[in-house]
Amino acid sequence: MEPHQVKVNGVPRVLAAGPQVSLLDWLRGQGLTGAKEGCAEGECGACAVLVARADGPDRTRWTAVNSCLPPALAFDGGEVVTSEGLGRAPGACTAEELHPVQREVADRGGSQCGYCTPGFVCAMAAEYYRPERRPAAAGEPAPDHGPNGFDLHALSGNLCRCTGYRPIRDAAYALGAPADGDQLAARREAPAPALRLTRFVSERAEFIRPGTLQELLDRLEQEPDAVLVAGATDVGVERNLRHSRPRLVLAIDRMEELRRLDVGTDHVDIGAALTLTEVEQGLGGRVPLLNKLFPQFASRLIRNSATLGGNLGTGSPIGDAAPVLLALDATLVLTSRRGDRPVALADYFTGYRRSVREPDEIIRAVRLPLPLAPSTAFHKVAKRRFDDISSVAVAFAARFDGAVLTDLKIGLGGVAATPLRARAAEDALTGTELTAESAAEAAGILAGEGTPMDDHRASARYRTAMLEQAMLRFYAESAPELEVIR
Amino acid sequence: MSALADRPANPAVGQTVSHESAALHVTGTALYTDDLVGRMRGCLHAWPVQAPHAHAYVTALHTEPASAIPGVVRVLTAADVPGVNDAGAKDDEPLFPREVMYHGHAVCWVLGETAEAARLGAAAVEVDYEELPSLLTLTEAIDAASYQGHQPVVARGDAESGLQRAPRRFSGTFEFGGQEHFYLETHASLAHVDESGQVFVQSSTQHPSETQEIVAHVLGLSNSEVTVQCLRMGGGFGGKEMQPHGLAAVAALGAVLTGRPVRLRLNRTQDMTLTGKRHPMCASWEVGFDDDGRLLALRATITSDGGWSLDLSEPVLARALCHIDNAYFIPDVEVHGRIAKTNKTSQTAFRGFGGPQGMLVIEDILGRCAPALGIDPAELRRRNLYAPGQSTPYGQPVRHAERLHDIWAQLSSRADVERRRAAVEHFNATHEHSKRGLAMTPVKFGISFNFTAFNQAGALVHVYKDGSVLVNHGGTEMGQGLHTKMRQVAATALGVPLDFVRLAPTRTDKVPNTSATAASSGADLNGGAVKHACEQIREQLAEVAARKLDTQPYNVRFVDGRVTSLGSTESLSFAELVHTAYFQRTPLFAAGFYRTEGIHWDAANMQGEPFKYFSYGAAVSEVEVDGFTGAYRFLRTDIVHDVGDSLSPLIDLGQIEGGFVQGTGWLTLEELRWDTSAGPGRGRLETQAASTYKIPSFSEMPEEFNVHLYERATESGVVYGSKAVGEPPLMLAFSVREALRAAAAAFGPAGRPLELPSPATPEAVFWAVQDARAAAGGRAVPATTPAASGAG
């Protein structure tokens, strides 16, 4: 078999590293020390690099990811660009040749200590090359967007402790379009690197990218302790911070059966191994409640790797997607050698990080019933607006007939060992007119749902209050429309 | 020699230039200590064995199981130390402790062929502990009278009689949190025994000379046998002033014992659980005002949480006490300070070095008392600003106090404060669920190390035969742009273009006995030394040039790489002159030295003039608070700040903005939580990762951010008329905290004092909002509170 290999900054490099070696550590071991480890859990973005991802069958999209999380082997056959590859540093015998992104950051004082800078530059370059980026039409740019169409959320996963961010924002907002002859821009016009069915086997660990769903399910049945990896945004943290060392890693990031997005007449099926960014792009705003979720779900760097399957598979009691999907009345399509098994998300979680999923089962897709409830809201309570973990997350999906709530589903995160539906509050309000009084009463009921606890993110008391306030806010935000109806 | 503050024609200082390493930063080719590992053959990796108790004796240490792990090379313990088993400057920090003093304390270190082997080895080390009672909170420490170090008092006049006379008196207590440095680059050291037999340590240290001294002291070597180099740091903020020493000593010890290079790099969690932070403090206070809101007297006790050892807690406390006045004249003052000893990381220097804590106390007092006094908080602050001729409580005249008033007025007008105040009122009147707040706060910050001996610096400047210049100085580069400024200083002093000058990494074998790059003093001190060195060379060159140009040395001018004589059209290039000078056997290198003149400090009585000058600034911030959650947005901040005549405007702007946002983080998001329960996790830092300890991101940058450098601000007696800039802007963030207080208060009746915890997290703000709302819900609150009542 051919050696594993990654094209880095245009040059193929042989990849001889086990599945426990992150892309970051491998790159640094290659002498490419531009990417840095700042946190090893995908929070700071100092390790960000660009990877070539498929943008449809014929094109490539430069996508920024945290290199500290995925195993290097996941990029076997792939193409990676680091800060070193974007431009050329001034050296003893060379003049500097900075990429436009690097030039703007350098000239505007966007680097001080410089440690986070390579990651910022890569995240900024991905947005620079985003094909949909267009200068704003006349008038005010969208919130968190520059006049050049730069979405500041592209940098929401990058932390800087020195600059206070203003010069970095100004650099981002000053970027023009890629010039003619820009090689990375040109690279977008050709297909992404071809899929490789990577097989790495050593005494202690295996990394397999199965070619078919059948092979995946077979392996999983034989070895139910195998770890499934798509973006590795959770597995990578487990490896780096909690030192988990799985014997078998099964990469599912290219598995076609898990990567379909089907919008039917009575439901939407979202492949479990699609990244959140891909889902966002694929849905194009057709599920408004998900559109409210996406910008608040971790950071762009994480959303470029993280999947709904991973988010639900880990069974986190917070995971912001779960409350939203609960409100949307989602069903999970579980698959094993025994076939498909749909399970309502509301029945999926059984305890802290536990679920009804059998060891040999995988989440194939998330199914949303249509038509969607027209009135929705997502309230995420966290310390920080960009890239933080919720202390409480509340999602609402409602149908009104006049001012009467005919259907209400409320998903909660962060207030119990699992995400849950707020059944008591839903029941209290369903079939009644939403008024200040009924909302206040329901707020009291909602506050009684779940079993919030004290931790470093928030007190139990605050969490309870946030449930109450979420209902009051839902009413306050619905009230102007209801007023018109009345 | 020219006067220190004078600038020649067309100087390189004052030009807007990018960071000297900007091109390296953006291309990922700027090297940091841990980037060098791949250049070392056979490098070993160190991993700590961290104790799982807040306080315990180590009764037995079994390292054999670790040695059985493949790839483990050696376990370092106290028995291996050839010198002194101590990593501190005060002999109170054993490198390998027998008594565990905090949760996560490293009891020994494992060296492995790989980091993975070292980690597995550390997990295999068996340690027996005898648990001991522990003190974690300030309250616990105060109740147990657990203190360490000096208990200084800053006093002037008679606070008791001042309070008695005051028609308006208030008292209160205020406990506020510390701050994790969260430099993006965690601590790193890389040590080896070099080809000449010296111990060579690459270290991410703000204080290479002290790192060198501690390494030598642990190894039982002389300082001359150890060299420490700091290439650059990925941020320091004070966290690498004292904390790197022990880590460098472990790496050096490993290198000496194994004969192989040793790399010690902390991962984020190790860094957060092992190293010190900004001191949390609590204050109890009594304050007296006259009927017009003028401060008459303040009596306070500040208790600082020093953690398990003294480290820099004493000077940090001294600076806190010396800054409790911030920008305000208080006639009668008595402030007591003490340092609690707790079972936590040993708290240390952090940008501002106690100044922010002292100033937070008075700003909190003013913010709480203003409504009770019936005076707008900004007006209350303005009324109390120092006037020319007044002195601080420790006896230092406040020179240029008029600048405070000028800055305040300029800021009010630049930021359009009056109009926006009305707009905020209108917004609040028309929005039920969100409220805005606007607040303005000043900063006065003393520049110089309180400890007089530290106010010295050295430099070594070489001019090579081709006219190129290499500058070594004692300061370290941590992102603050010191090297950029020093390059500008050297180019100015030698009259050459910037690109003639290269900065060499900081090394203890080039400039000895350096002070920490700290106290905002890097440019003042090292700039003085670099300038001194360059001027010695220039004077030598002027002699040579005078002979060539047939003039007198005092008529020779050095500008932009050309050397000319007054009144003559003849000139020669700097490179030609240098070439000639070499053949005339003229020294082309010089050591420069600088010491700050005119400062003195009586540490026992806390009196004197410890500061060369004061830095001034003011900020006005506007915020919006969401009443449902307490979450907030920072809408706009305007700053006017005094950096003297800027050495490097882009660098100074970056320091002001960055300091402000970092201060905002301290006062809002950043929350350190320790497990204070009686359970098995007692003493564990719960916020020990980026996922749980949140520093500001883009979303915390003010949406509109205007910074203006105060103009025509030459500071006499400082290099090229500039002022220090590293720390003072952090405290401009008080304006955000006070704006949050105003916005939260706007949910309730006007004129009611409101307490706001620090950090003012969304949760804390939510409870303040609820508090304000409760007051609006029927309880009568008088517009002003009677004398002698509490302020909240």
B159-190: pLDDT as tens digits: 999 999 999 999 999 999 999 999 999 999 99
Whether residue B158 has pLDDT greater than 90: yes
In sign, the C-alpha dihedral spanning A409, A414, A420, A425 is negative
Q: What is the 3-state secondary structure (H, E, C) of B740-764?
A: HHHHHHCCCCCCCCCCCCECCCHHH
> Is a pLDDT exceeding 90 seen at residue A95?
no
Look at residue B240 in the predicted model and tell me its pLDDT: 98
Tell whether B239 is covered by a domain.
Answer: no
C-alpha to C-alpha distance for B66 and B336, rounded to whole angstroms: 49
The stretch B234-255 carries a mean pLDDT of 98
Nearest by CB: B26 against A29, A33, A102 = A102
**Strand duo B434-447 + B571-573: pairing:** unpaired
In a domain, A235, yes or no: yes
pLDDT at A486: 63
* Domain assignment present for A76: yes
Distances in whole angstroms, Cα of residue B142 to Cα of each of B138, B301, B564, B771: 6, 12, 69, 29
How sure is the predictor about A483, in pLDDT bands with cuts at 50, 70 and 90? confident
Q: Do B26 and A83 touch (CB under 8 A)?
A: yes
- Does residue B442 sit in helix, strand or coil? strand
Whole-angstrom distance, CA of residue A333 vs CA of residue A152: 35
The alpha carbon of residue A265 and the mean position of all alpha carbons in its chain are separated, in whole angstroms, by 27
Average pLDDT, integer, range B656-668:
98
Q: How far apart are CA B319 and CA B399, in angstroms?
A: 18
Q: Quick one: tokens of B533? A: 């060195």
pLDDT average, residue stretch B716-741: 97
**Which residues in chain A (22-81) have CB-CB distances under 8 A to chain B?**
28-29, 31-41, 43-44, 46
Alpha helices, DSSP H only, in B268-336? 268-274, 313-322
The C-alpha atoms of residue B233 and residue B183 are separated, in whole angstroms, by: 9
> Any chain B CB within 8 A of the CB of A242?
no
- In total, how many domains does chain B have? 1
Segment A58-92, tens digit of pLDDT: 999 999 999 999 999 999 999 999 999 999 888 77
Could you tell me the residue range of the domain that residue B469 belongs to? 22-29+456-595
Mean pLDDT of chain B, nearest integer: 96
In a domain, B501, yes or no: yes
B709 assigned to some structural domain? no
Specify if B488 maps to a domain: yes
Helix (H, G, I), strand (E, B) or coil at B577: helix
Exposed, middle or buried by CB within 10 Å (0-12, 13-18, 19+), for B151?
A: middle
* pLDDT band (50, 70, 90) for residue A485: low
Axis crossing angle, helix B649-667 with helix B734-745, rounded to the nearest 10: 40
Mean pLDDT value of segment A180-202: 95
Smallest Cβ distance to B26: which of A111, A162, A381? A111
Across A207-212, average pLDDT: 96
Residue B777: pLDDT above 80?
A: no
Q: Which residues contact B530 (CB under 8 A, 6 or more apart)?
A: B459, B461, B471, B473, B486, B489, B490, B493, B592
Q: Please name the residues in contact with A240: beta carbons below 8 A apart, sequence gap of 6 or more.
A: A22, A40, A41, A68, A69, B267
Q: What is the pLDDT of residue A253?
A: 94
Residues A430, A485: one domain? yes
Q: Are A343 and A260 in the same domain?
A: yes
**A305 at B interface, C-beta within 8 A:** no
Which residues 688-707 of B have a C-beta within 8 angstroms of A? 689-692, 694-701, 705
In tens, the pLDDT along A404-425 reads 999 999 999 999 999 999 999 9
Half-sphere exposure of B275 (CA within 13 A, CB side): 29
Determine the pLDDT at residue A1: 64
Q: Is residue A465 part of a domain?
A: yes
> CA-CA distance, A300 to A152, in Å (whole number)?
10
In a domain, A192, yes or no: no
Active site residue B711: no
C-alpha closest to that of B193 among B141, B251, B238: B251
Distance CA A30, CA B370 (A): 61
Closest CA to A370 of A265, A240, A262: A265
Q: What are the φ and ψ backbone dihedral angles of B501, each rounded to 5 degrees? A: -110, 125
pLDDT over 70 at B778, yes or no: no
Is B484 near chain A, with CB under 8 Å?
A: no
Maximum Cα–Cα distance across chain B? 91
Residues B227 and B240: their CA atoms lie apart, in Å, by 17
Chain A residues touching residue B687 (CB < 8 angstroms): 456
Mean pLDDT of A119-123: 98
- Same domain, yes or no, for A354 and A393? no
Look at strands B632-641 and B613-626 and give their pairing: antiparallel
Are A181 and A299 in the same domain? no
Asked, for residue A226, whether it belongs to a domain, the answer is yes
Q: Burial of A284 by CB count in 10 Å (0-12 exposed, 13-18 middle, 19+ buried)?
A: exposed
Whether the ipTM is more than 0.90: the answer is yes
Nearest CA in chain A to B760: A383
Residues A388 and A354 in one domain: no
- At B222-240, the pLDDT tens digits run 999 999 999 999 999 999 9
Average pLDDT over residues B572-586: 97
Q: Using CB atoms and an 8 Å cut-off, which of residues 269-288 of chain B contact chain A?
A: 269
If asked whether residues A299 and A268 sit together in one domain, one would say yes
DSSP 8-state code for residue A112: S
What confidence score (pLDDT) does residue A304 get?
Answer: 98
Read off the pLDDT band of B2 (50, 70, 90): low
Number of domains in chain A: 3
Q: Which of B477, B609, B670, B727 is catalytic?
A: B727
**Distance of alpha carbon B769 from alpha carbon A465, whole angstroms:** 12
Q: Are residues A270 and A139 in the same domain?
A: no
B33, B384, B397 from B446: Cα distances, Å: 32, 18, 11
CATH number at residue B530: 3.30.365.10
Residue of chain B whose Cα is closest to the Cα of A153: B698
Interface of B with A in 399-458 (CB under 8 A): 432-433
Give the domain-ending residue among A341, A372, A403. A372
- Would an 8 Å CB–CB cutoff place A197 in contact with chain B? no
Which one of A154, A187, A220 terminates a domain? A187
CA atoms within 13 A on the CB side of B290: 9
Are both A233 and A135 inside the same structural domain? Answer: no
Percent of chain B clearing pLDDT 90 (strictly above): 96
- Asked if B487 contacts B549 with a C-beta cutoff of 8 angstroms, the reply is no
Any idea what the CATH number is for the domain that residue A147 is in? 3.10.20.30
Q: How confident is the model at residue B790 (pLDDT cuts 50, 70, 90)?
A: very low
Close Cβ partners of A5 (under 8 Å, ≥ 6 residues apart): A12, A13, A14, A15, A76, A77
Pair A287, A426 in one domain: no
Structural domain includes residue B537: yes
Provide the domain limits for residue A291: 197-372
In-domain check, residue A348: yes
Which residue among A350, A372, A394 closes a domain? A372
Cα B726 from Cα B525, distance rounded (Å): 13
* Residue with the two structure tokens 């007449």: A265
Nearest residue to B492 (alpha-carbon basis) of B523, B458, B531: B531
Q: What is the pLDDT of residue B785?
A: 37
Least confident of A148-157, B51-60, B84-93, B313-322: B84-93
Tell whether A11 and A41 lie within a shared domain.
yes
Q: Are A116 and A243 found together in one domain?
A: no
Does a structural domain hold residue B481?
yes
Interchain CB distance below 8 Å, A83 and B689: no
Interface test with B, best of A112, A151, A160, A243 (most B CBs within 10 A): A112
pLDDT of residue B539: 97
Q: Which DSSP helix (H) or strand (E) runs through B506?
A: strand B506-507
Pairing of strands A48-54, A79-81: antiparallel
Contacts of residue B617, Cβ cutoff 8 Å, sequence gap at least 6 = B407, B442, B443, B639, B640, B641, B642, B656, B710, B728, B729, B732
Q: Are residues A170 and A220 in the same domain?
A: no
Q: To the nearest whole angstrom, how far is the Cα of B300 from the nearest Cα of chain A?
A: 31
